[in-house]
Amino acid sequence: MKLAVFADKFLRMDRRFIFPPIALAIIIPMLFPLHLRVSPSPPVLDVFRAMEKLPAGTPVLISMDYDPSTTAELSPMAVALFRQCYARHLPIVVMTLDPGGAGLAVQLLHNFARETGAKEGVDYTFLGYKAGIDAVILAWGQDIEIAFPTDYNNTPLDEIPLMDHARSYRDVGLVITLAAASYPEVWVPFAHERYGAPIAAGVTAVMAPDYYPFLQTGQLIGMLGGLKGAAEYEELTGRPGDGMKGMDAQAMVHLFVVLIIVLGNAAYFVTLRAKKREGAA
């Protein structure tokens, strides 16, 4: 009988009592990472392997085509890619086709330089934002100075050592677009189809299913999908970051939700059985 009373109270519990445990399930793994293992998917492995095959000194173009609303999913990808490039001695050319991406790029590159000691103009450079998506992508096929005569700091490209070896798609080993909108659908026809540039993408989780056809046709050589894709890439690079922390928190919340569902169903059947007994009596 006591069990039935407890079950009834559980079913009548104010739903707001669930919020604090969920908050703790998110906060604790973020502060004290659990380092739960994730199994890299084939599209993520393809990006990682493509990067590992590039000879040292080959520039990598990373276009941060997103704004702050999706930074939780896409910025961990950028950080993981920056770290891999630096470890492999691959100079990084960063740009953005989204007006909201410039500030994010500056902040991430500043943190990256402080963490690794990377030198601006030698190990990385940020070109900034330029309006005209199609025109900017096409400019890389001829000479990037057409679209970006200077970098974000107004330094002429001719004065940036890195840019001596990164003038067009012919010089770039891989193009990676980290996108929160349909930017990959512009990069593919204008960079890959027209100039043969190898393209990889990092997209939000909700966008990922739309781009599997691009993987099947080879128009994208690989893809990182959502926070899980970021965590998988961190697993491959051996450098846990916000992606794996986020997946730890997500796993704990999912576990708690499953537990609540199981307890709720158990409580329902206990109270139902108790009511049947009372009716029979």
**Together in a domain, 273 and 173:** no
* pLDDT at position 36: 78
**Together in a domain, 232 and 134:** yes
**Together in a domain, 185 and 224:** yes
CB atoms within 10 A of CB 265: 10
In tens digits, the chain (281 residues) has pLDDT values of: 577 777 778 778 888 888 888 888 888 888 887 777 788 999 999 999 999 999 999 999 999 999 999 999 999 999 999 999 999 999 999 999 999 999 999 999 999 999 999 999 999 999 999 988 999 999 999 999 999 999 999 999 999 999 988 999 999 999 999 999 899 999 999 999 999 999 999 999 999 999 999 999 999 999 999 999 999 999 999 888 888 888 888 888 888 889 989 988 888 888 888 777 776 65
Q: Total structural domains in the chain?
A: 2
* pLDDT at position 47: 97
Q: Which residues contact 103 (CB under 8 A, 6 or more apart)?
A: 68
**Together in a domain, 145 and 262:** no
**Together in a domain, 76 and 193:** yes
Buried/exposed code over 100-137 (b: 16+ C-beta within 10 A; e: otherwise): bbbebbeebbeebbeeeebebeebbbbbbbeeeeeebb
CATH for 159: 3.40.50.10160
Residue 37 maps to a domain: no
Q: And the tokens for 125?
A: 């450079």
**Together in a domain, 6 and 127:** no
**Together in a domain, 99 and 207:** yes
Rounded CA-CA distance 196/170 in Å is 9
**Together in a domain, 69 and 87:** yes
**Together in a domain, 130 and 27:** no
Q: How far is CA 113 from the centre of its chain?
A: 20
Q: And the tokens for 102?
A: 């410039």
Q: How many alpha carbons lie under 13 Å from residue 143 in its C-beta half-sphere?
A: 7
Residue 274 maps to a domain: yes
Residue 36 maps to a domain: no
The domain containing residue 69 runs over which residues?
42-239
